[in-house]
Amino acid sequence: MRTGISITLTSADRRRLEAIAKDRNAAQKHAWRAAILLLSADGIGTVEIMRRTAKSKTCVWRWQERFMQDGVAGLLHDKTRPSRIPRLGPEVVERVVALTLTDPPGETTHWTADLMARMSDISASAVRRIWKTHGLQPHRYRQSKLSNDPKFVAKLRDVVGLYVDPPAHAIVLSVDEKSQIQALDRTQPGLPLKKGRLGTMTHDYKRHGTTTLFAALNVLDGTVIGRNMQRHRHQELIRFLNTIEAEVPVGKMVHVILDNYAAHKHPKVRAWLERHPRFVFHFTPTSCSWLNAVEGFFAKLSRRRLKRGVFCSVVDLQAAINRFVTETNADPKPFTWTADPDRIIAAVRRGHQALDSIH
């Protein structure tokens, strides 16, 4: 043994090292490290320790020194080693970030990690780390469209005003149609969900026809008036308005929020509106379907009843939709608008400024 190295174990250290060496579930590197120290404490020479543990001389010496410095705890933790790969300089990171914000070469639609790695002469994993640090996700995009309606501000404040401060003794209805709802049947039954396995559904399907759901969401109490129809022309809209007229209490004004679909402004619809003076139409700005509250009901219907549904016929599909409407009306939740219209207007203006500066 080298000069200056003396291994002396307390009874507690010896019991702990023996437990580690004998534990069949312990990590092997911890077991042979404990064996080196036990043999050293028993006065066994370095050569004999090397023979019994099948370790090199430098390895034996290293762990003897580690025990002298840190005790038993030092045997259970490896020291961190410097990376063999040099760190990327700030100029490389800045170049990757700047390049990511530009269009990729050729007709490529977006940057990939491999493409950026070739252009920057670094690894793809380094590119991903840089993108993650700076919040860049070139493979993703968001769908959006700015409204070009010249009366955007006035229409926005009108509709939001109905949500936030509805008129007294009146009903506010958000009306729209969800068209082309397909009755899809799968070619094979799917497997159920189980532990460690997702539920399955075939990628192909059989089409059994379509239906259109006309829906009117009562903003005040959250109830829904829904009717399934084959098409979504002005004739069907007038029939649905007659349904609303029959179900809404007599004597109350009815404020209807609609989008700018052509059937909503058809001359015969306007004539119907003149014959029913208690109905008032409020149109959302163009390209602002998100402003219509009933879209939230349609989204919930798609997620919970349509997306994974299996329907053998249009009648089966319509029955499922009607049951969902009934369940919604059994436990309605009033619609609550929370967005500040001033912030929406400011965001749209910033969006137009950004588009004008780019194009």
Tell me the chain's radius of gyration from C-alpha atoms: 35
pLDDT band at residue 316, thresholds of 50, 70 and 90? very high
Query: For residues 285 and 151, is the Cβ–Cβ distance under 8 A?
Result: yes
pLDDT of residue 186: 92
List, in sequence order, every residue forming a beta bridge with 140; answer none if it has no partner.
none
pLDDT at residue 72 greater than cutoff 90:
no
Q: Cα separation of 216 and 258, whole Å?
A: 10
pLDDT for 303: 93
Angle, nearest 10°, between helix axes 46-53 and 57-70? 100
Which residue matches tokens 């004999």? 48
The total of other beta-carbon atoms located within 10 Å of residue 120's CB is 19
Q: Which residues contact 264 (CB under 8 A, 6 or more apart)?
A: 237, 258, 281, 283
Taking only the tens place, the pLDDT of each residue in 19-66 is 998 888 888 999 999 999 999 888 888 899 899 999 999 999 988 888
pTM assigned to the model:
0.72
Least confident of 79-83, 95-99, 231-235, 346-350: 79-83
Separation of first and last alpha carbons in the chain: 78
